[in-house]
């Protein structure tokens, strides 16, 4: 009975690890950052795949906890071993190692987020994303879409409903170029909001 339960837990853990790896690779290489609004796979965008990735990791953590509980006697026996004069030291080192691993795992979650001066400056500037259309950009900045198209050397026939991310991939410009054009149009110094 216990051997069957161990086998099931191990298979579920392997499947969880496999899905974690696949969704991680999917979000890193197939639906990279910035693709959330204009790219999807199986009807799910990058952010929805991120949600799936999170819940798979939560389930995977639960399965690993059950795995450790099923093997707890073996773990204790391995840490303590046969009684000897070094048994206490070995158990103490094992406990310290476990606590250090737990602390290291939770460190990113409990560490305060640092906000750089550059991020504060950029926050005052317009936020340009690949999911924005030319019309939205024009409305938000007051810079005519025609001016942006001309400055980027793009065809004037491009629709204002076209998303910047698609244009970026098609014509090879960077979002920094768009920010620079907007700053120049408004008479702001180049680099005021971007480093």
Q: What 3-state class would DSSP assign to 190?
A: coil
Whether residues 8 and 62 fall in one domain: yes
Quote the CA–CA distance of 157 and 37 in Å, as a whole number. 23
**Phi and psi dihedrals of 163, rounded to 5?**
-80, 145
21 and 106 inside one domain = yes
Is 194 a domain residue? no
In a domain, residue 129? The reply is yes
pLDDT of residue 194: 42
Domain final residue, candidates 81, 110, 139 = 110
| Residue labelled with tokens 């110094």 | 189
Same domain, 44 and 10: yes
In a domain, 193, yes or no: no
- Tell me which residue range forms the domain holding 136: 117-186
Give 149's contacts (C-beta < 8 A, 6+ positions apart).
134, 155, 156, 158
Which residues contact residue 65 at a Cβ distance below 8 angstroms, ignoring those fewer than 6 apart?
Answer: none
Whole-angstrom distance, CA of residue 174 vs CA of residue 186: 19
Check whether residue 175 and residue 96 sit in a common domain.
Answer: no
Query: Do 37 and 89 share a domain, yes or no?
Result: yes
Are residue 171 and residue 95 in the same domain, yes or no?
no
Euclidean distance between the first and the last CA atom of the chain, given in angstroms as a whole number: 62
pTM of full prediction above 0.75: no
159 in any annotated domain: yes
User: Is 32 in the same domain as 98?
Assistant: yes
Residue with tokens 């795995």: 67
Structural domain ending residue among the three candidates 65, 81, 110: 110
Asked if residue 195 belongs to a domain, the reply is no
Do 79 and 11 sit in the same domain of this protein? yes
In this prediction, the residues of the chain whose per-residue pLDDT falls under 50 are 118-124, 191-195
Q: Are residues 135 and 98 in the same domain?
A: no
- Both 68 and 160 in one domain: the answer is no
DSSP category for residue 27: I
> Measured between alpha carbons, how far is 126 from 139 in angstroms, rounded to an integer?
11
37 & 128 share domain: no
What Rg do the C-alpha atoms of the chain give, in angstroms? 26
Number of domains in the chain: 2
| Dihedral angle of Cα 110, 116, 122, 123, to the nearest 10 degrees | 40
- Same domain membership, residue 129 and residue 106: no
**Continuous H helices in the chain:** 2-25, 46-70, 72-80, 87-110, 117-124, 134-141, 145-151, 164-171, 175-186
CA distances for 34 relative to 106, 119, 165, 175, angstroms: 27, 17, 8, 11
């Amino acid at each position: 009975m216990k051997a069957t339960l161990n086998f099931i837990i191990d298979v579920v853990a392997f499947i969880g690890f496999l899905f974690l790896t696949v969704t991680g690779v999917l979000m890193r290489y197939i639906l990279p950052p910035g693709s959330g609004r204009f790219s999807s796979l199986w009807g799910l965008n990058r952010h929805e795949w991120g949600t799936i990735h999170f819940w798979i990791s939560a389930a995977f953590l639960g399965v690993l906890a059950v795995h450790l509980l099923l093997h707890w006697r073996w773990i204790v026996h391995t840490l303590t071993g046969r009684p000897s004069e070094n048994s206490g030291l070995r158990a103490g080192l094992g406990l310290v190692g476990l606590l250090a691993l737990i602390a290291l795992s939770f460190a990113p979650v409990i560490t305060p987020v640092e906000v750089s001066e550059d991020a504060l400056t950029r926050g005052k500037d317009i936020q340009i994303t690949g999911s924005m259309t030319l019309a939205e950009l024009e409305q938000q900045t007051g810079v005519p879409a025609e001016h942006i198209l001309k400055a980027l050397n793009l065809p004037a026939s491009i629709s204002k409903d076209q998303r910047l991310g698609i244009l970026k991939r098609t014509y090879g410009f960077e979002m920094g170029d768009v920010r620079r054009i907007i700053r120049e149009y408004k008479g702001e110094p180049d680099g005021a909001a971007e480093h």
